[in-house]
Structure 1
Amino acid sequence: MATTVASRPSSEVDNEPSAGPRRFTQEEYFRMVEVGILDEDDRTELLDGHIVEMVAQNAPHRAAVIKATELLVDRLRAAPYVVQTQSTLPLDCHNVPESDLAVLSGTADDLLEGEPDEIPLIVEVADTSLEKDRTTKLRCYATNGIPEYWIVNLQNDTIEVYREPADGEYRQRETMTRDGSVTPLFDDLLSFEVGVVLPQDPSDEEE
């Protein structure tokens, strides 16, 4: 005798949640480092719960990071802020980016007591990572209320300035060219020319 098995309507099947990539928490991410699943030297970051491998940096990227770091450290020497370079930045349960630069309130020793009360500025240097910095990273910073986010765009020789975070995006965007100047919201005395941060081709200096 044949057995008939009743199947559910296709509409019910279609409405079932589909399995997706597992999202990790900040606690789980740090635990992976502690137990050796991830090595401290691995270049990874946690974005929206996903472990993302970071690409190797080319020479222009490294040069821009060094120049921006030197500039901010020098200008903020007497201010109540410190500059963190290419280090872990725990923001929320599912986001632990490794920003190229982050301006943190307080002193370096304050990190031993907990995360800073204020992160007025985050800077990413972008070449091959430009799309990620404009999408995934931008949403991460906007969602966490970072008031100002800069992308040093090596492809276009500009600095993209994002402000007014709301609903996972920035409502204000301004693109500054090499001959322009930029001033962060948290310190109007910190104005500097964009070209100071962008890498300089040695052949241009000789002309």
Structure 2
Amino acid sequence: MNVIVAKWTIDEYHSMIDAGILCDRKVELLEGEIIEMSPEGEPHAYCSHEAGQYLTNLLGTRATIRQAKPITLPNDSEPEPDLAIVQSLGREYREHHPYPENVFWLIEYANSSLDKDLALKPKIYAAAGILEYWFVNLKKLHLVVFRDILDGEYATKQTWTTGIIQPLAFPDISISVEQICDRA
């Protein structure tokens, strides 16, 4: 038996949102498929919020930290990363979500959605040209950093448990891995 999956464009997805079809569902669009998002447990909500505050203090006005807000990607994807470190474009975001060229890097936290966030999302983000993607495994409290796009995929994947990391977009900023992973 062949299963045919209905694919949706970003415009169709936005029409469903505008019509209220998805109002009671926590979903995101990934490669044209509407995917249910896992509920946030306490560790997820706490860690992503604290990391967002930490990065806001570190980066100041150099970037905006958007927490659990959509970004619009050209591959019929509109994910809602836990933290999107984006250009500070102010009211421009009333007209559109950040596009790949507005994104400095993304951070996802996961406890139960490990497969989606470690397998599917790096492919989507790299294909869209997001230069850097950080993933925090809440079970192991480590940070996985994806970088160096080659042929539409991240060529480098490093796992950090401690130390200092500099994001590609801000090499003069030192970020504590312990703060991002709540090991401090």
Using structure 1 for the length normalisation, give the TM-score.
0.81
Match of 2:110 in 1: 126
Aligned 8 A contact 1:63 1:199 in 2? no
Give 2:13's match in structure 1, choosing from 29, 33, 44.
29
User: For residues 120 and 102 of structure 2, what CA distance do their matches in structure 1 show?
Assistant: 21
1:197 positional shift = 2.2
**Structure 1 residue ranges (4+ consecutive) displaced by more than 6 angstroms after TM superposition:** none
User: For residues 93 and 14 of structure 2, what CA distance do their matches in structure 1 show?
Assistant: 16
Alignment of 1:39-118 (within 5 A): 39=23, 42-79=25-62, 81-114=63-96, 115-116=98-99, 117-118=101-102
User: For residues 70 and 61 of structure 2, what CA distance do their matches in structure 1 show?
Assistant: 24
Sequence identity (%): 31
Gaps of 5+ in 1: 1-17
Give 1:190's match in structure 2, choosing from 161, 173, 178.
173
Alignment of 1:136-175 (within 5 A): 136-175=120-159
1:93 positional shift = 4.8
Match of 2:119 in 1: 135
Secondary structure at the counterpart of residue 144 of structure 2? strand
Q: How many residues align?
A: 181
- What letter matches 1:37 in structure 2? I
- The structure number with the bigger radius of gyration is 1
Gaps of 5+ in 2: none
Match of 1:199 in 2: 182
Using structure 2 for the length normalisation, give the TM-score.
0.91
- For residues 167-187 of structure 1, give each alpha carbon's deviation from its aligned partner in whole angstroms, at most 9, with x where no partner exists: 34200111111x322210111
Secondary structure at the counterpart of residue 92 of structure 1? coil
User: For residues 85 and 93 of structure 1, what CA distance do their matches in structure 2 show?
Assistant: 22
User: Pairwise CA RMSD of aligned residues?
Assistant: 1.8
Aligned 8 A contact 2:61 2:88 in 1? no
User: For residues 100 and 118 of structure 1, what CA distance do their matches in structure 2 show?
Assistant: 16
1:113 positional shift = 4.7
Give 1:38's match in structure 2, choosing from 12, 15, 22.
22
- What letter matches 2:5 in structure 1? P
Aligned 8 A contact 1:141 1:149 in 2? yes
